[in-house]
Chain A
């Protein structure tokens, strides 16, 4: 059973470009969470999604950031018009419906904005 997959593992963008981060949850998991880790900081919750639904987006910046988890395919975290402050590691986690509290993390995508 493959774990949570994230791609790309590393992403370099110039200021003003768009970044698209993908997350495939573990098989059978219907809940996806996105976190951001800035250098020297802990994991900050961004958004919690189920298939085709955003459950909690209280941690998402109000502008430029969006997330989706379509019926088919991976969850996407999209950052428009990236700025240098967006440089961070972005982790995705998934959990099964039977144990929502235990989250299984992917390896992360390291975004560098030049």
Chain B
């Protein structure tokens, strides 16, 4: 029972263009959402988060959008850089409780 889904296992984007990574969740009670980035043989690194009271949060080149009615969030990276190539995990949950992770999207930014 996958409560958080990332339906695109991989994505390739040209350097300088926008990368859009998508994530869907099933539980309408979830009120906190995070994106993590993971390089091979390393642990995930926190990127950006958003709570359900907001629909957008921006941090430099990274913006997370939340559509509560659609139970959908997305991560936009613009402009994309080769160093952004990694696996991106979204996570969702109820604040103070366990978080559920998606299966990840492998992003490749082509120079």
Question: Interface on A for B, CB 8 Å cutoff?
Answer: 4, 6, 33, 35, 40-45, 48, 56, 58-59, 91, 93, 100-108
Contact = CB atoms under 8 A, between A and B. Distances in A.
Interface of B: 4, 6, 32, 34, 36, 41-46, 49, 89, 91, 93, 95-104
A40 B34 CA distance: 20
B103 A41 contact: yes
B49 A102 contact: yes
Given A45-B101, A105-B46, 4 more contacts: A6-B43, A43-B91, A103-B34, A105-B44
Given A4-B43, A42-B89, A91-B44, A105 B100 contact: no
A4 B45 CA distance: 11
Contact of B43 (A40, A45, A48, A107): A107
A102 B34 contact: yes
Contacts of B34: 101-103
B44 A44 contact: no
B98 A58 contact: yes
Contact of A107 (B6, B36, B42): B42
9 shortest A-B CB distances, which residue pairs? A105-B43, A42-B103, A43-B101, A42-B101, A45-B98, A105-B44, A107-B43, A101-B32, A106-B43
Nearest to A44: B101
6 contacts: A42-B6, A43-B44, A101-B32, A101-B34, A103-B46, A107-B41
Given A107-B43, A108-B43, A101 B95 contact: yes
Contacts of B6: 42
A56 B102 contact: no
Contacts of A104: 46
A56 B100 CA distance: 13
